Every structure is written in structure tokens, then in C-alpha cells.
Amino acid sequence: MYGRLPLHEQLAALRTVLSRNEVLLGVLEEAAKVNPPNWYVTAGCLFQTVWNVVTDRPPAEGIKDYDVFYFDDSDLSYEAEDRVIKAFDNDQVEVRNEARVHLWYEEKFGVPCPPYESCEAAIDSFAATTCCLGVRLEPDGQWRVYAPHGLSDVFGLVVRPNPVLAPRHVYEAKTERWRRQWPGLVVLEWPA
């Protein structure tokens, strides 16, 4: 239903739907106070909140963590990243400097990751286009939404592969877990 709305109405619907998750609103407010460079709340806490709401579940049900990405290439040390991590006072928040991802990605996922040039570039490389979504609060209280693939799939419970970086097994593991929680998902196959 929401996915067929004009884009400006989808954006308004997204804010309304996400605002039903009080934990998410708290994370957005905390991130705005900490204000790391070029930050977004992103990934599962966003699209899973939408999936919960459109399937009549509690908005925060099953959400394990709330990702905050930021981009600061002025200091790639873990110590600098750790200072930002410690500025957050919430155990559910996972904070990562996307300028550092190329330093550890291959060891964790088995494929190299070229250095990102922005937080948006990191969001662009998620395993599914449906996941490519970021939201932040601007100083004037407006929501900045980054959704390079639009919002129709998010609202429509469609998971579309994004073979830009993440390997196939990462996509398949995530979608298998998501199908158990949201059986109505339409999961598209990884391209041959």
C-alpha cells in the first residue's frame, strides 16, 4: 500500500512508520547529540521497523541492534572510532566509522572492500537493495533520508539482491533469517 504512493508521500509515511519505534527515535536523538561526521542510523532497525508495522507487529520486535554509521577519514585508528562508540550510552547501538571498513571487511567476509568515500557509499553496498536506507536528524529537526533504491521494496516486503560487494552467502544467510521472522517476504534470488 505505501509503496504505491508518490515519493513525497512515501517519505512522509516512512517517518510516520519509523516514529512508532520509540527505541529508534531515541537512537536518532542520541546520534544527533553525539553528531559524528556524516552520520546515519541505518540498516535493519529501519527496514525491519517498516516490516513490523506493515505486518501488524510491535514496531521494535526482533530488532537486535541499531546501526549508526558515520564517515571520518581524518583518523583511521580504532582508538578514534572507539571514542565515538563510547560517546553513545546505549548497548543496542552499534557504531562504525565507514572510512575504516576496508581495514577489516575481507577478514570478516572473505572478499576485499575498497575504501569508501562516504557513508552513503557504504550504505550503497549492503547485500540487499532493500537494506540501502539511512536516516538522520538534521540540526533543524528535519529528517534526512538516504534511499538510493527508493522505498517501494521496503514497504512492499520485497528483498532484492545487491551484488555490489557482499558475497552471495551473506545475502542468503540474512534472507533465511528474515524469512523466519517475516514469512510474507518476497525474496528474490541472487543473480547467476
- 192, part of any domain: no
Q: How many structural domains are present in the chain?
A: 1
pLDDT tens track for 119-155: 999 999 999 999 999 999 999 999 999 999 999 999 9
SS3 labels along the chain: CHHHCCHHHHHHHHHHHHCCCHHHHHHHHHHHHHCCCCCEEECHHHHHHHHHHHCCCCCCCCCCCEEEEECCCCCCCHHHHHHHHHHCCCCCEEEEEHHHHHHCHHHHHCCCCCCCCCHHHHHHCCCEHHHCCEEEECCCCCEEEECCCCCHHHHHCEECECCCCCCHHHHHHHHHHHHHHCCCCEECCCCC
- 105, part of any domain: yes
| Residue 3: per-residue pLDDT | 61
Global pTM reads 0.93
Print the domain residue range for 87.
Answer: 2-187
| Residue 166: per-residue pLDDT | 87
pLDDT tens track for 4-46: 777 789 899 999 999 999 999 999 999 999 999 999 999 899 9
